[in-house]
């Protein structure tokens, strides 16, 4: 494949790319470090000079600093090693993600693989981001030169991450590499490492790779250089035929769906639907996979697509010119909400950038629009309703967007829509006489809606809560499967991140696993068997494929019964006595990712990282101080009341460290605050009975700069505070060891 510099397809995209062009020095443009257009085998040597910080010598690539950040990310990342890249010159090491860094990280993984016997065949694939296929080819050619076979798609065409994960598991492969950055801004990119289960590596596993990269850098420091070898483009160890021969796995995936959410009943419901189901592809990887899968299921005629053409700029979704006439990228995360305390209104800025008033004008009321993201692992549910439903939306805490004078687009957060699919799947299992044959349970992250726990409690269904990240859910699944194998016929217990031993029964099956950011999967009644005989209770990656099928069936069922999604949500709230009806997630970002000057951006990010760390340490020290008996609960309340006099902490019941953040439980609400990986971002989540109280708490907690107020300093010893983040990592490791 021949790689060319991206060319903008609109004035707005040109504004982004021109700013990158102007910010890139000529010496970087002209110094093509790794030429993947070279069809022959070649070598690339890093020297000691390349490790040095910028400005220290003409050959400095800042790789020692790159490694420090890579190591930090691997220790705490919830979604792969990610960061900004130069979309025009991907070898630019001023950016956190670049071809040289990915080369080093890949070589570390190769060295770990070489330490173990057996077949090492992997998949390398990508979604639609700038330079994605270059990163895939770099990985494949480096692996091939080191005798590792790699399956790739024809011409490195995009494919969803859930399908790659599925194929790794079903074909018992060694693992995979996936280039993505989920729903992040267009300049961002990431490498997600998938293990032999098809799930992302947890930190302990990732550190094996990090240690190998450290060894490589030590060799360069001590011996002066290290040479990396790349195979020819046509190496027989880069296999483009296998995935093509199995239609990229779509036949097998359709077969799997028939065993889980694509039941005869659900397919029949979709067949009976009068209104089309719309899929918002966002220019991502879903269309080329979903369309043939739906065809194999015989329901493709009921679906229509928006923005199905591949586009790394995501058809301008999330992109705006700000008030200063500068380019700004919100990302394509349609779960981002802004809450205006003065007007008591919610807005969804990413959705607002799409011209849905025009795109949806010919579709009738009740039409469902399902929004995916570029790597197709998330789903956001919306539907067209009359403007007369605005009052009900506000009563139930739902956001909406105007589609003209008399119509609106009702927007469900994943927390809200997944509550619908959980209940719908439960009812389907009961009707199919499968519910009483197994011990069904839920899995969720602590940052996800507490309403899911409340619904499960109403039905006496056990719930496993984990830290944030689908890899945490997948790892807990594997712990359960090991116990099923080693303890046949016995009740299976698993410790959740709250420290509770959860009894899953003697024959556990997964009803649902999900997280608030938009990922969900369901488990079939029969265990999933790989070709090599491995068995699993569920797939390992969240999947818009599964989510689309079950949500389409739900939507079709409601259409047939004359109900709306809004009706169903209110019914579930009432039938299950749900307290946590309202919610907010605040993403507190401490720098502007759209800043065109990378030096300015990195300086601002570094300052933001300091604030984020202070915020995290402040709240962690409260939870861990309470855990260790340094603080009493009344003292925690007093510290918080002094720091946040505008908020009421009198009904605080508990506070805990939950693996990657601090959780506060109140009588009628909950709140979690956590740092987002190694980015300069804090996230706060709040759920409860009073929407604007939840919002007030989340806004105040997430934006706090972390200064220790007098009571905090008086009651929490400085030595304890200074080591609280290290202590938290130790406790997380203990949690993983003792599940």
Rounded distance between C-alpha atoms, residue 633 and residue 638, angstroms: 9
The reply to whether 448 and 341 lie within a common domain is no
* Contact assessment for residue 122 and residue 149, using Cβ atoms and an 8 Å cutoff: yes
* Contact assessment for residue 669 and residue 64, using Cβ atoms and an 8 Å cutoff: no
Total count of domains within the chain? 4
Q: What is the DSSP string of 710-731?
A: HHHHHHS-HHHHHTHHHHHHHH
Q: What is the mean pLDDT of residues 347-375?
A: 97
Report if residue 22 sits inside a domain.
no
Confidence of residue 77 (pLDDT cuts 50, 70, 90): low
Q: Which of 400, 415, 430 is the last residue of a domain?
A: 415
User: Is it the case that residue 258 has pLDDT exceeding 90?
Assistant: yes
pLDDT tens-digit readout, 162-195: 999 999 999 999 999 999 998 999 999 999 999 9
The reply to whether 502 and 365 lie within a common domain is no
User: Is it the case that residue 525 has pLDDT exceeding 60?
Assistant: yes
Report if residue 544 sits inside a domain.
no
pLDDT tens-digit readout, 411-441: 999 999 999 999 999 999 999 999 999 999 9
User: Is it the case that residue 8 has pLDDT exceeding 60?
Assistant: yes
Per-residue pLDDT, 569: 98
Average pLDDT, the chain: 96
Rounded distance between C-alpha atoms, residue 534 and residue 517, angstroms: 29
Q: Which of 245, 270, 302 is the last residue of a domain?
A: 245
The reply to whether 652 and 701 lie within a common domain is yes
H-helix or E-strand spanning residue 508: strand 508-515
Rounded distance between C-alpha atoms, residue 673 and residue 661, angstroms: 6
Q: What is the mean pLDDT of residues 328-333?
A: 96
pLDDT tens-digit readout, 207-226: 899 999 999 999 999 999 99
Whole-model pTM over 0.75: yes
pLDDT tens-digit readout, 544-566: 999 999 999 999 999 999 999 99
Rounded distance between C-alpha atoms, residue 723 and residue 430, angstroms: 50
* Contact assessment for residue 455 and residue 179, using Cβ atoms and an 8 Å cutoff: no
The reply to whether 385 and 434 lie within a common domain is no
Q: Which of 575, 602, 628 is the last residue of a domain?
A: 575
Per-residue pLDDT, 327: 94
pLDDT tens-digit readout, 489-522: 999 999 999 999 999 999 999 999 999 999 999 9
Per-residue pLDDT, 205: 84
User: Is it the case that residue 626 has pLDDT exceeding 70?
Assistant: yes
Per-residue pLDDT, 75: 75
Confidence of residue 203 (pLDDT cuts 50, 70, 90): confident
CATH number of the domain enclosing 566: 3.40.120
CATH number of the domain enclosing 709: 3.30.310.50
Report if residue 682 sits inside a domain.
yes
Confidence of residue 92 (pLDDT cuts 50, 70, 90): very high
Rounded distance between C-alpha atoms, residue 179 and residue 375, angstroms: 9
User: Is it the case that residue 59 has pLDDT exceeding 90?
Assistant: yes
Report if residue 546 sits inside a domain.
no
Q: What is the mean pLDDT of residues 467-492?
A: 95
User: Is it the case that residue 289 has pLDDT exceeding 70?
Assistant: yes
% of residues, the chain, pLDDT over 70? 99
Confidence of residue 679 (pLDDT cuts 50, 70, 90): confident
Report if residue 661 sits inside a domain.
yes
Q: What is the mean pLDDT of residues 569-593?
A: 96
Report if residue 323 sits inside a domain.
yes
* Contact assessment for residue 716 and residue 625, using Cβ atoms and an 8 Å cutoff: yes
The reply to whether 238 and 296 lie within a common domain is no
Q: Angle CA(548)–CA(549)–CA(550) in degrees, nearest 5?
A: 95
End-to-end CA distance of the chain: 46
The reply to whether 154 and 197 lie within a common domain is yes
Report if residue 60 sits inside a domain.
yes
pLDDT tens-digit readout, 364-416: 999 999 999 999 999 999 999 999 999 999 999 999 999 999 999 999 999 99
The reply to whether 707 and 566 lie within a common domain is no
Closest CA to 277 of 545, 546, 548, 542: 548
Beta strands in 175-262 (DSSP E): 175-180, 188-194, 225-230, 238-239
Residue 562, judged by CB atoms within 10 A of its CB (0-12, 13-18, 19+), counts as: exposed
Q: Per mean pLDDT, which range of 374-383, 620-629, 674-683 is the poorest? A: 674-683
Per-residue pLDDT, 206: 87
User: Is it the case that residue 143 has pLDDT exceeding 80?
Assistant: yes
Confidence of residue 48 (pLDDT cuts 50, 70, 90): very high
SS3 670: strand
Rounded distance between C-alpha atoms, residue 23 and residue 187, angstroms: 14
Report if residue 197 sits inside a domain.
yes
Confidence of residue 78 (pLDDT cuts 50, 70, 90): low
The reply to whether 259 and 228 lie within a common domain is no
The reply to whether 202 and 340 lie within a common domain is no
For residue 129, the tally of other CB atoms under 10 A from its CB is: 27
pLDDT tens-digit readout, 645-661: 999 999 999 999 999 99
CATH number of the domain enclosing 120: 3.40.120.10
The reply to whether 406 and 439 lie within a common domain is no
User: Is it the case that residue 1 has pLDDT exceeding 90?
Assistant: no
The reply to whether 490 and 594 lie within a common domain is no
User: Is it the case that residue 79 has pLDDT exceeding 70?
Assistant: no
* Contact assessment for residue 86 and residue 46, using Cβ atoms and an 8 Å cutoff: no
By residue range, what is the domain housing residue 600? Answer: 582-737
Per-residue pLDDT, 653: 98
Rounded distance between C-alpha atoms, residue 485 and residue 250, angstroms: 30
Sequence-ordered alpha helix ranges (H) in 224-346:
242-245, 250-258, 264-272, 287-297
What does the buried/exposed string (b/e) look like for 412-445 if buried means 16 or more CB atoms within 10 Å of the residue's CB? bbbbbbbbbbbbbbbebbeeeeebeebbbbbbbb
Rounded distance between C-alpha atoms, residue 122 and residue 172, angstroms: 10
Rounded distance between C-alpha atoms, residue 290 and residue 524, angstroms: 20
The reply to whether 451 and 317 lie within a common domain is no
């Amino acid at each position: 494949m021949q790689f060319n510099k991206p060319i903008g397809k609109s004035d707005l995209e040109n504004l982004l790319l021109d700013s990158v062009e102007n910010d890139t020095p000529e010496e970087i443009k002209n110094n093509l470090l790794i030429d993947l257009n070279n069809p022959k085998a070649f070598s690339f040597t890093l020297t000691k000079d390349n490790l040095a910080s910028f400005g220290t010598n003409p050959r400095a690539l800042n790789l020692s600093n790159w490694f420090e950040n890579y190591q930090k990310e691997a220790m705490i990342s919830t979604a792969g090693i990610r960061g900004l890249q130069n979309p025009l010159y991907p070898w630019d090491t001023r950016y956190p993600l670049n071809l040289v860094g990915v080369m080093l990280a890949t070589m570390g993984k190769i060295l770990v693989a070489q330490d173990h016997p057996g077949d090492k065949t992997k998949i390398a694939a990508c979604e639609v981001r700038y330079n994605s296929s270059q990163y895939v080819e770099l990985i494949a050619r480096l692996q091939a030169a080191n005798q590792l076979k790699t399956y790739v798609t024809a011409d490195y065409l995009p494919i969803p991450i859930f399908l790659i994960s599925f194929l790794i598991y079903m074909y018992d492969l060694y693992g995979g590499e996936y280039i993505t950055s989920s729903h992040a801004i267009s300049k961002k990119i990431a490498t997600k490492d998938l293990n032999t289960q098809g799930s992302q590596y947890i930190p302990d596993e990732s550190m094996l790779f990090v240690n190998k990269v450290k060894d490589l850098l030590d060799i360069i420091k001590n011996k002066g250089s290290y040479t990396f070898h790349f195979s020819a483009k046509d190496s027989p160890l880069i296999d483009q035929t296998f995935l093509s021969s199995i239609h990229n796995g779509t036949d097998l995936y359709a077969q799997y769906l028939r065993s889980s959410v694509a039941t005869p009943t659900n397919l029949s419901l979709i067949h009976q639907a009068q209104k089309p189901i719309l899929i918002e592809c966002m220019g991502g990887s879903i269309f080329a996979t979903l369309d043939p899968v739906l065809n194999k299921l015989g329901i493709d005629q009921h679906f229509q697509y928006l923005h199905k053409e591949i586009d790394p700029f995501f058809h301008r979704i999330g992109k705006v010119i700000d008030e200063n006439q500068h380019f700004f990228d919100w990302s394509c995360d349609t779960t981002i909400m802004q809450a205006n305390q003065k007007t008591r209104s919610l807005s969804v800025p990413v959705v607002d950038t799409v011209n849905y008033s025009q795109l949806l004008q010919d579709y009738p009321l009740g039409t469902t629009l399902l929004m995916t993201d570029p790597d197709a692992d998330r789903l956001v549910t919306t539907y067209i309703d009359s403007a007369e439903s605005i009052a009900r939306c506000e009563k139930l805490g739902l956001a909406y967007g105007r589609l003209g004078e008399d119509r609106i687009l009702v927007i469900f957060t994943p927390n809200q829509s997944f509550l619908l699919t959980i209940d719908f799947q439960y009812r389907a299992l009961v009707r199919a006489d499968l519910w009483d044959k197994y011990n069904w349970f839920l899995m969720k992250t602590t940052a996800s809606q507490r309403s899911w726990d409340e619904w499960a409690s109403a039905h006496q269904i056990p719930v496993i809560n984990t830290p944030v990240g689908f890899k945490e859910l997948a790892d807990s699944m594997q712990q359960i499967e090991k116990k099923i194998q080693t303890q046949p016929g016995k009740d299976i217990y698993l410790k959740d991140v709250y420290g509770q031993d959860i009894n899953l029964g003697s024959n556990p099956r997964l009803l649902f696993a999900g997280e608030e950011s938009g990922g969900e999967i369901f488990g079939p009644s029969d265990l999933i068997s790989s070709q090599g005989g491995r068995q699993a209770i569920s797939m390992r990656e969240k999947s818009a494929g599964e989510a689309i099928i079950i949500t389409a069936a739900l939507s079709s069922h409601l259409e047939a019964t004359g109900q709306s999604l809004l009706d169903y949500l209110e019914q579930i709230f009432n039938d299950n006595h749900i307290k946590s009806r309202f919610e907010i997630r605040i993403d507190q970002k401490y720098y502007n990712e759209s800043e065109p000057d990378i030096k300015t951006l990195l300086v601002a990010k570094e300052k933001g990282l300091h604030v984020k760390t202070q915020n995290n340490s402040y709240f962690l020290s409260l939870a861990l101080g309470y855990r260790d008996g340094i603080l009493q609960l009344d003292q925690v309340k007093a510290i918080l009341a002094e720091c946040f006099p505008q908020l009421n902490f009198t009904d605080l019941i508990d506070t805990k460290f939950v693996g990657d953040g601090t959780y506060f439980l109140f009588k009628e609400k909950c709140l979690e605050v956590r740092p987002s990986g190694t980015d300069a971002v804090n996230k706060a989540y709040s759920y409860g009975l009073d929407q604007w109280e939840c919002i007030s708490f989340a806004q105040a907690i997430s934006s706090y700069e972390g200064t220790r107020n007098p009571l905090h300093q008086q009651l929490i010893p400085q030595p304890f505070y200074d080591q609280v983040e290290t202590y938290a990592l130790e406790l997380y490791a203990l949690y993983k060891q003792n599940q």
